[in-house]
Amino acid sequence: MDPAAALLEIAALLERERASRYRAKAFRQAAATWESLPEEVRADPVRLRASKGIGDSTFEVITQAQAGETPRYLVELRGEVEPELSSELRGLLRGDLHAHTEWSDGTTSIRTMTDAARALGHDYLAITDHSPRLRVARGLSAERLREQIPLVRAESDAALRVLAGIEVDILEDGALDQEPELLAELDIVVASVHSKLRMDAAAMTARMLTAVRSGRVDVLGHCTGRLVEGSRGTRPPSEFDARAVFAACAEHGVAVEINSRPERQDPPDALIAIALEEGCLFSIDSDAHAPGQLSLLDHGAVRAERAGVPAARIITTWGIDRLLDWAD
C-alpha cells in the first residue's frame, strides 16, 4: 500500500483511541516527510532512514508498505482500536461544531482538520479553539483570534463549509472570556466551564445562567466537566441546578452539547433526560483535538439515540443554511 496512506491511517487510529498525541504526530510528520522526498531517497533505505522525521517505527511501516505488505503495526491497530459504532442517528449528522487545532491545544493545522472532515463527508466544521484564560491550552487572545478568523473561513469550498468559532470559557462570574464584538463576529460560540469545577452548586448555577442568558452563546459545551475514563483519570461532575440551566437554554436558544468523547460522556444520561423535558435543542460534537478524533461523533450519536433525542432537535443534523440562520 502507499506508505503515506499507511502512516496517516495509523495516526488516525492512534488519535481515535486517544493515545499519546506525540505518537500520532510522529506518524503524521513521517507521512509529510515521505511525500516531500525525491524518488531516489525513497528508494535508498540508508538515506530514507536518515531523513528528518523518519524514526525506527515509521521507517518499518514505510519499508513494509514499499514491499507490498500491509504494515504489521497497522494490522495490529486495526484489530485493537474500536471500530466506529453504528446508529441511524450517526448517518443523519451533517457536521461538527466543536473542534480544535494547533492554534490552541489541538495537534494539527486547520487544513489537516478540514481535510479530515471532508473525508468523513461532513457538510460543515466549526473550528473552536480555546479562549485566552485557558493558558495551559494556549487559548487565543483577541489579536490571535482576529488573525485566525479569515484563515478558517478561507478553508471553505463546495464540499465543506468551515465556520469560524471559539470554545469560550465561562468565567467565575458567568462572563465570557473574549471581547463581545469578536464573539458577535463568529459563526459559532461554544461556551464551557473549565475552572473551579467544584464550586458551590448555587454559585455554579448562577455562573452558567449568566452565560446562557448573555445572548452570545450558541452551544453549552460539556456541561458537567466530568471525566469517566482515560489517561487523565476520573473527575466528578460539577453540581448545579440542571433544570434551571436547561430551561434557560431552551428559552434563549442555546443548544446543549452531547460531547462525543468517551472519556467525558457529558451530559450524563439523567441530565439529557432533563434537557429533553425542558425542550432543549442539542448539538452532537466531537470535541476533536486531532483529525482522527472527528470520527468520535459515533459515540455521541449512539448515546443520543439511546436517550431518545429526536433528530429534529439536534442542530448538527440540520443543513448549513438552517444552522447559520439559527445561530445568527
* Same-domain status, 148 and 65: no
Does the pLDDT of residue 192 top 90, yes or no?
A: yes
* Same-domain status, 128 and 219: yes
* Same-domain status, 56 and 111: no
* Same-domain status, 257 and 144: yes
Nearest CA among 48, 194, 198, 208 for reference residue 131: 194
Domain range enclosing 7: 3-80
Name the DSSP class of 227: B
CATH of the domain at 321: 3.20.20.140
Last residue of a domain, one of 26, 45, 80: 80
Q: For residue 139, how many other CB atoms are within 10 A of its CB?
A: 24
Over the chain, what is the mean pLDDT? 97
Residue-wise pLDDT tens digits, 149-160: 999 999 999 999
What b/e sequence results for 189-198 when a residue is b if at least 16 CB atoms lie within 10 Å of its CB, and e otherwise?
bbbbbbeeee
* Same-domain status, 184 and 206: yes
* Same-domain status, 101 and 72: no
172 within a domain of the structure (yes/no) = yes
192 within a domain of the structure (yes/no) = yes
Tell me the average pLDDT across 97-124.
Answer: 98
232 within a domain of the structure (yes/no) = yes
85 within a domain of the structure (yes/no) = no
Residue-wise pLDDT tens digits, 240-287: 999 999 999 999 999 999 999 999 999 999 999 999 999 999 999 999
d(CA 207, CA 175): 8
Does the pLDDT of residue 21 top 90, yes or no?
A: no
Residue-wise pLDDT tens digits, 54-97: 999 999 999 999 999 999 999 999 999 999 999 999 999 999 99
Last residue of a domain, one of 80, 98, 126: 80
Last residue of a domain, one of 48, 80, 112: 80
| Residue-level pLDDT at 193 | 98
230 within a domain of the structure (yes/no) = yes
46 within a domain of the structure (yes/no) = yes
| Residue-level pLDDT at 272 | 98
56 within a domain of the structure (yes/no) = yes
| Residue-level pLDDT at 230 | 86
* Same-domain status, 151 and 70: no
- CA–chain centroid gap for 179, Å, is 23
In this predicted structure, which of 13-22, 114-123, 251-260 has the lowest mean pLDDT?
Answer: 13-22
**Binning pLDDT at 50, 70 and 90, where does residue 231 land?**
confident
* Same-domain status, 59 and 111: no
CATH of the domain at 71: 1.10.150.110
* Same-domain status, 138 and 230: yes
* Same-domain status, 104 and 192: yes
d(CA 105, CA 138): 6
* Same-domain status, 257 and 276: yes
Confirm if 129 and 144 have CB atoms less than 8 A apart: no
Taking the CA atoms of 152, 157, 159 and 161 in sequence, report the sign of the dihedral they define: positive
| Residue-level pLDDT at 260 | 98
* Same-domain status, 165 and 273: yes
Q: Say how many domains are in the chain.
A: 2
3-state secondary structure of 286: coil
Nearest CA among 177, 190, 270 for reference residue 222: 190
Does the model's pTM come out above 0.85?
yes
**How far, in Å, are 14, 25, 50, 55 from residue 64 at the CA level?**
19, 20, 17, 14
**Binning pLDDT at 50, 70 and 90, where does residue 212 land?**
very high
Does the pLDDT of residue 232 top 90, yes or no?
A: no
281 within a domain of the structure (yes/no) = yes
Percent of the chain whose predicted confidence (pLDDT) is above 70: 100
